[in-house]
Amino acid sequence: MEARAINKYIPSSPRKMRLVVDLIRGMSVEKAIEILHFHKKHASNDVETTLRSAVANLLNSEESTRTDPADLFVKEAFVNQGPTIKRIMPRAMGRAYKIRKRSCHLTIVVATKAEN
């Protein structure tokens, strides 16, 4: 049995988010939440809330018959690029530098170990 949670339009670049997501892929949910809670990168907050949402989606599903949260693991976790907002920064001698404010979409799939 599996459930997924998708968090869209996170105002962080996909490259920075992938550094955190790569840490938890394939881990048990309890260990992954512990790592994310104490990790120093800012992206870990968004990943932790999405992971908790995926666990809640699994526990609240109709098919879920007394699923123990200790038996869950992160089956899939990936980051896709979202839309980029383009801005201009004025510079010396009339020049203008482009600033790209990137965003990303995060998807986490949680499954039970028996289904593995």
In one-letter notation, the amino acid at residue 77 is A
Provide the pLDDT for residue 116.
Answer: 47
Provide the pLDDT for residue 61.
Answer: 83
Contact 112, 71 (CB under 8 A): yes
Per residue in 8-64, pLDDT tens?
Answer: 999 999 999 999 999 999 999 999 999 999 999 999 999 999 999 999 999 888 765
Q: What are phi and psi of 57, to 5 degrees?
A: -60, -40
Give the domain range for residue 69.
2-115
- Please determine, for residue 101, whether its predicted confidence score (pLDDT) is greater than 60: yes
| DSSP character string of 5-42 | EEEEEESS-HHHHHHHHHHHTTSBHHHHHHHHHT--ST
The angle subtended at Cα 39 by Cα 11 and Cα 31, nearest 5°, is 115
Number of domains present in the structure of the chain: 1
Residues whose CB is less than 8 angstroms from the CB of residue 104 and which lie 6 or more positions away in sequence, other chains included = 10, 12, 13, 14, 17, 79, 80, 81, 82
**pTM for the whole thing?**
0.89
- CATH number of the structural domain spanning residue 109: 3.90.470.10
Q: Kind of pairing, strands 85-90 and 72-81? A: unpaired
Calculate the average pLDDT of the chain.
Answer: 92
